Structure 1
């Protein structure tokens, strides 16, 4: 359970940093690229064995890591577009509700248990995610560019599913480093391309923020994968607890640190989130 707790805390830290980007006028794309580089270096450093590029290229998970690296950048941009065109609430709900994809995958592919109490807990968790994520002041336009939240939903769920599916039990740091390394290369290309077309220059402040983001970003994935490999905890249970706890905790952090207003719906979602976690963890 300690791995799951560390994953939740790390993911909440990502939320705090992203909120700080706006406050300190940090270029998000630049920080994201630095973040991927940092996470790649960190994963490589924590991998205790010798790193063999040929062995990596011949591994069963290499092509999955390449696909995930591209997907990381693509979904990041889809999330930004969704927030701009459909509202922050739609982007938040679409990305968080996607947890249903790895849950269903775990039940079907890994033959995980399907009990009424567990299904009831998962349904409660999805309701909690929706109620906690929705912001009443957002200008939500569901009919505008409706394909964007759909793509975000599918893409976010696919990332969670494939990261868990391809990750080798004995090479989690190396696997994570490879994904982040590929994402860095793709992101660097996008950054150079955009810089050539605009007058934007690289900001030095993007480096410390990117390093901090990369550190906790790596930790969030590393500890989630470790939690998914703890005996006695099924994929559907871990993803449900992880996702709903992050949403609820991030909302509370927003209230405490950033003085965000929490509506009655949000408080109801937080309460339901706690109940759903208790139900899902019941044996």
Structure 2
């Protein structure tokens, strides 16, 4: 049950981004208010405000969010841009197959009994093929000019690399510093807070320069996005702990495959999103890539 709720919430994030264009929501404004909603929701969810006393500079999980906050808001904005201007499928594929980056980092820098076999290396190659195929736009969907394709490809690669850097950093900090539930909750809250502060400063500059105007629909969109964003993480953790006995090696590949397929299906059903043959093949290749990368645990 937790798995299905987490899947629905996570897939909804891409669809919410997709709907911003329809309702003329300012994406960056919504993202800024999304992060502050995450912070407030986290405080309410924690219930005990006294745990904030645990936030001291001596902890690694307090220092790392300073850099991760900027990376978070940048990646989230790119995900929204790609979902709106390229496709939900491309955005979800790029962010979800990025799980191979922490896998590779763990393989190189940490000692494990398992080593890469030919299937793992095949999966690694398939990842880049999946990015190429999902970023391809035919004349029936959008302009197929070389410039447009190169821009789409680079944006999707950027999401892939940035999402991978975030996952790697979080995995590292969770394993060496934020090792209990309270520190993990505060760690994620600090990332949201730093992202919110960075976003608020940029937004304030835009408002002062009269480049944008804060409106109630943008705030409400950010609140909705924030609630879905925060609880997608909560239910993902609950599913991992209670339904998969903490076996992340099995959970994350399965979860990411499900998000790619489910979010794409909903985008086609709700937004009539058109995918060409290459895009559909790219989704299939992405699923195969995740299976190949994590086959030892499936």
Structure 1 partner of 2:46: 47
In 2, the alpha carbon distance for the partners of 1:26 and 1:247 equals 24
> Which residue pairs with 2:261 in the alignment?
248
Distance 2:131 2:3 in 1: 18
TM-score of the superposition, structure 2-length normalised?
Answer: 0.75
- Residues 1:218 and 2:230 aligned together: yes
Q: Select which of 120, 145, 166 maps to 1:159.
A: 166
Q: Deviation digits for residues 91-121 of structure 1, max 9, x if unmatched?
A: 7465455332122134343727346486278
Question: Contact conserved, 1:37 with 1:184, CA < 8 A, in 2?
Answer: yes
**The structure with more helix, counted as a fraction of residues:** 2
Give 1:84-233 correspondences, 5 Å limit.
88=86, 92=91, 95-108=95-108, 109=110, 111=112, 113-114=114-115, 116=117, 119=120, 122-123=123-124, 126=127, 127=129, 131-132=133-134, 134-136=136-138, 137-139=141-143, 141=147, 151-167=158-174, 168=178, 169-171=180-182, 172-225=184-237, 231=245, 233=247
- 1:136-155 superposed Cα distances (whole Å, 9 cap, x missing partner): 33445365698766554432
Residues 66 and 182, structure 1, Cα contact 8 Å, conserved in 2: yes
Give the Cα separation in 1 of the matches to 2:253 and 2:166: 15
Residue ranges of structure 1 left out of the alignment (5+ in a row): none
Could you tell me which residue of structure 2 aligns to residue 15 of structure 1? Answer: 14
Whether the 8 Å contact between 1:101 and 1:157 is mirrored in structure 2 is yes
**Is residue 2–residue 239 contact of structure 2 (8 Å, CA) maintained in 1?**
yes
Cα distance in 2 for residues equivalent to 1:156 and 1:224: 17
Note if contact 1:81-1:148 (Cα within 8 Å) is conserved in structure 2: no
Q: Quick check: 2:65–2:190 contact (8 Å CA) kept in 1?
A: yes
Cα displacement string for residues 50-91 of structure 1 (whole angstroms, at most 9, x for unaligned residues): 43444212433111122211211233456678899xx73797
Separation in 1 of the partners of 2:100 and 2:262? 19
Quote the Cα distance in structure 2 between the aligned partners of 1:83 and 1:276.
21
Offset at residue 45 of structure 1 (A): 1.5
Deviation at 1:19, TM superposition (A): 1.0
Report the Cα distance in structure 2 between the residues aligned to 1:262 and 1:134, rounded to whole angstroms. Answer: 10
The runs of 5 or more residues in structure 2 that have no matched partner are none
1:258 aligns with: 271
